[in-house]
Structure 1
Amino acid sequence: MPTIFTRIINGELPAHKILEDEKFLAFLDIRPIKPGHTLVIPKREINYLFDMGNDQLGEMMVFCKQAAAALKRSVPCARVGVMVAGLEVPHAHIHLIPFDAIPDLAFANARPMDPEKLAALAEKIRSNL
């Protein structure tokens, strides 16, 4: 059974995409910890981030760097944090989270965000790529 992320990649489920190439996809989390919270995934379904080959993992980090730069230009923040948990969805993914202080990174702070606000934010981030 395909993961929810594979269904997003295949266009079966909607997503507020901010960056995409032939190997990776970055889209806004619908339950962000902070506005701009982005998920970066490989298009090939891989269960665990560290099951990826070294080359692909390196390429994914370069892709994350590009997305993070656009986030930094779009969302007021001190930094863009990088987090990997890998428990909720069995598809490798990296969280990019704009933040000002460590407490901003608590997953307990995740709340649904209005779809219209997500769409507007995604457009702003794309314009800053």
Structure 2
Amino acid sequence: MATVFSQIISGAIPGRFVWADDVAVAFTTIAPIADGHTLVVPREEIVQFIDAPTDVLAHLVQVAQTIGRAQQQVWDSPRVALVTAGFEVPHLHLHVLPAWDEQSLTFANARHDVPAAELDAAAEQVREALRAQGHGDHVPARLTDPAV
């Protein structure tokens, strides 16, 4: 059975995409710890990071770094966090989010009541920053489309 992330990638479940290439996609989470909280996900279903081929994992980290730079530009955070947990979905994903301190980097701080318009706006801010930084060729034409 396809994971929820595979269903998002296929378009069966809606997502807010900020990045897409042949190996990975990135979309904002519906339960952000911070504005712009983005998940970088391989298109291939890989359960956890230790199962990923080295080249795929390296690519995911490179995409996460690029998205992190965009997030830092938008929200002016002192740091950008990269978290690999993966207990909630058995499909490798990297959490990338603006960070102000370590205490705020807990999933207990995830907000489940963010209005859709605010989630859309945060995703669009990341998309705009990625375009401004020269990565427009990897920003999907539409927020809800995982293709470039």
TM-score of the two chains, using structure 2 as the length reference: 0.84
Could you tell me how far apart the structure 1 residues matched to 2:17 and 2:103 are?
26
Q: How does 1:34-45 map to 2 (within 5 A)?
A: 34-45=34-45
Deviation beyond 6 Å, 4+ runs, structure 1: none
Q: How does 1:49-128 map to 2 (within 5 A)?
A: 49-112=49-112, 113-128=114-129
Work out the number of aligned pairs and report it. 129
One-letter amino acid of the counterpart of residue 68, structure 1: G
SS at match of 2:56: helix
TM-fit CA distance, 1:76? 3.0
**Deviations, residues 30-69 of structure 1 (Å, cap 9, x unaligned):** 0011111111100011111110111111111111111111
TM-fit CA distance, 1:73? 1.1
Could you tell me how far apart the structure 2 residues matched to 1:123 and 1:34 are?
15
2:15 corresponds in structure 1 to 15
SS at match of 2:45: coil
SS at match of 1:95: strand
Let me know the Cα RMSD of the aligned residues: 0.9
One-letter amino acid of the counterpart of residue 115, structure 2: D
SS at match of 2:25: strand
Gaps of 5+ in 2: 131-148
One-letter amino acid of the counterpart of residue 118, structure 2: K
Q: Percent identity?
A: 37
Could you tell me how far apart the structure 2 residues matched to 1:75 and 1:114 are?
19
Between stretches 81-90 and 68-77, larger displacement belongs to: 68-77
Could you tell me how far apart the structure 1 residues matched to 2:98 and 2:40 are?
14
